[in-house]
Amino acid sequence: MSRSEHWSYSLRRWLKFGFAACIVASLAACAWIDAQQRAKVYRPTVGTIADWKPITGHDEALWLDLPPERPGATPQRLRALWIPADDPSAPSVLYLHGTFRNVFQNRPKIAAIHAAGLSVLAIDYRGWGDSSVVLPSEQSIVEDAEVAWAEFSRRAPRPQSRVLFGHSMGSGVAVELALRHRDPLEYGAVVIESGMTSMPDMVRDINPVGIVLVPLVTQNFASIDKIDRIAAPKWFLSGTADKTVPPQQTQRLYDAASGEKHLEFFEGGSHSGLHREFEQRYRAVWQAVAAALTCAGGVDPCAAARPALAAPQ
């Protein structure tokens, strides 16, 4: 082999090695970015059942097991809470919370929904509360919601009596779950509070340089691409002073939705405090949801019984 041939051969080897090294480095960098993003976006908060202050004398703490990752492996599990309504025939809500606060810290909002006369099944995704410790991802959260759905369906056997509720990031979970169970329709209504259109939209809308960061977003929860395929009645709630999820995202979700839909803007309302800041109106909205589940046909036979929505407080 001549010197030039040897040099050419060596160069090709180094180029192949360099290319492979770049691929490995890129994958490692992507994995690091993904892990950092998930930790900063979801901010899961741990807790124990000792943190729960019962809402009724019949609150039930549950463990929900996920399928084991491999035969013989210890299954991961979710902490769930079932708070039954006084009326056993009342509608039931699957409560899907947002980032940061665990299910125990969501007690005030859960109690407000229950006070409107509905049963509530609330869960912590893996990474939150008492549930198995993992770094959450969109995939793991959706998997957890499916496990919760199975328990919810068992406790609320009548599809028309089921309500999917998501707050903040949980709105994306609720919309994804609604999409998965739309054919045949296995629920009566979807309620979205402080809902986001998608994670990339959140980055773009709340960060001055967000448009540059959007290509790096690995978590999506793109409700804006799914909401028009959900036929069930939908309620959209948002505070106009929400500093976390811009209220215009709720407006865009409402505009994109098809079929029966209701939009409730709470003037001056915050991201997580609508149940506290507008107690009567918030309860009235949930009573209207419950009443709608028992009514069918072109003329609403329950109109007289449905509470009128109060003016903004």
Whether residue 11 has pLDDT greater than 50: no
Q: pLDDT value at position 37?
A: 85
Residue from 198, 291, 207, 273 nearest 237 by CA: 273
- Per-residue pLDDT of 73-120, as tens digits, reads 888 999 999 999 999 999 999 999 999 999 999 999 999 999 999 999
Q: Measured between alpha carbons, how far is 263 from 247 in angstroms, rounded to an integer?
A: 11
Ordered by start, the domain boundaries in the chain are 1-42, 47-293
Least confident of 45-49, 66-70, 205-209, 282-286: 205-209
**8-22: average pLDDT:** 41
Whether residue 24 has pLDDT greater than 70: no
Q: Measured between alpha carbons, how far is 262 from 165 in angstroms, rounded to an integer?
A: 14
- What are residue 62's DSSP bridge partners? 80
Helix, strand, coil shares of the chain as percentages rounded to 5? 45, 15, 40
Q: Measured between alpha carbons, how far is 191 from 195 in angstroms, rounded to an integer?
A: 9
Q: pLDDT value at position 15?
A: 39
pLDDT grade, residue 294 (50/70/90)? Answer: confident
Laid out side by side, the sheet with 234-239 consists of: 60-65, 77-83, 119-123, 92-96, 162-167, 189-193, 234-239, 261-266
Whether residue 298 has pLDDT greater than 60: no
CB count in 10 Å sphere of residue 102: 24
pLDDT grade, residue 302 (50/70/90)? Answer: low
User: Could you tell me the fold of the domain covering 47-293?
Assistant: Rossmann fold (3.40.50)
